[in-house]
Amino acid sequence: MKSRLYSAGLLALLMLGGCASMSESECQVADWGRVGLNDGSRGEPESRLANYSEDCGKIGITPNPQAYRQGWDNGIKRFCTAAHGWQAGLAGHSGKDQVCMGQAGFASFSHYLYAGLQVYRTHEKMQENTQTIKRLQAKLEAAVKDEEKRQIRHQLQDIDHEQYRLRSLLSQQSMMAP
């Protein structure tokens, strides 16, 4: 029972930590099928097994590549979905489509990844504009000449129009969610 709890805790740490290396104790208790399943479910590349082999090999433990790959194959099917593509895109993870290439869900994952990335980029542009607005407002407060104030107000008005356009675009892009 104690060993089971330890293994469950260890797996939870692996899932949350997301680091490629394993400690000596992790290598000793690893259920390679479950490790592969967890890695695949998080969209980690199958090549991560090489990192485990290197780390665990230092203490004389060899991962079970068949169990890992079988688990990874099942996990990657869970990951390569429209919903995960959308979430990866919203988070700005543009390279995640590489891990799904060749998988059954690749087309849907990729489509929604890029749709999510559009939303991510629109958000970034809006945040960039917000920072520019703050900078220009501070500049406006410090401006002395009327012509300089007029130019800054014009710039602020242009950015305000762009923010309106981006909010509208964001609304349209958000409708593309799976």
Q: What is the mean pLDDT of each run of 10 residues along the chain (178 residues)?
A: 39 40 88 96 93 91 95 96 95 88 93 96 98 96 95 97 97 94
d(CA 15, CA 7): 12
What residue segments make up the domains of the chain, in order of their start?
A: 2-79, 100-174
Query: What sign for the dihedral angle of Cα 88, 52, 13, 32?
Result: positive
Q: Which of 155, 163, 116 is nearest to 137 (CA)?
A: 155
Burial class (CB in 10 A: 0-12, 13-18, 19+), 27: buried
Helices H / strands E in the chain, number of each:
9, 0
**Cα–chain-centroid distance for residue 61?**
31
Q: Is-contact 71 33, C-beta < 8 A?
A: yes
In order of 66, 102, 134, 163, the CA distances from 7 in angstroms are: 20, 32, 51, 50
Determine the 3-state secondary structure of 66 from DSSP. helix
Residue 97: the pLDDT is 82
Q: Which of 65, 10, 68 is nearest to 37 (CA)?
A: 68
d(CA 20, CA 32): 14
Residue 95: the pLDDT is 82
pTM: 0.75
- Tokens 């485990």 locate to 52
And the tokens for 154? 């014009």
Residue 22: the pLDDT is 86
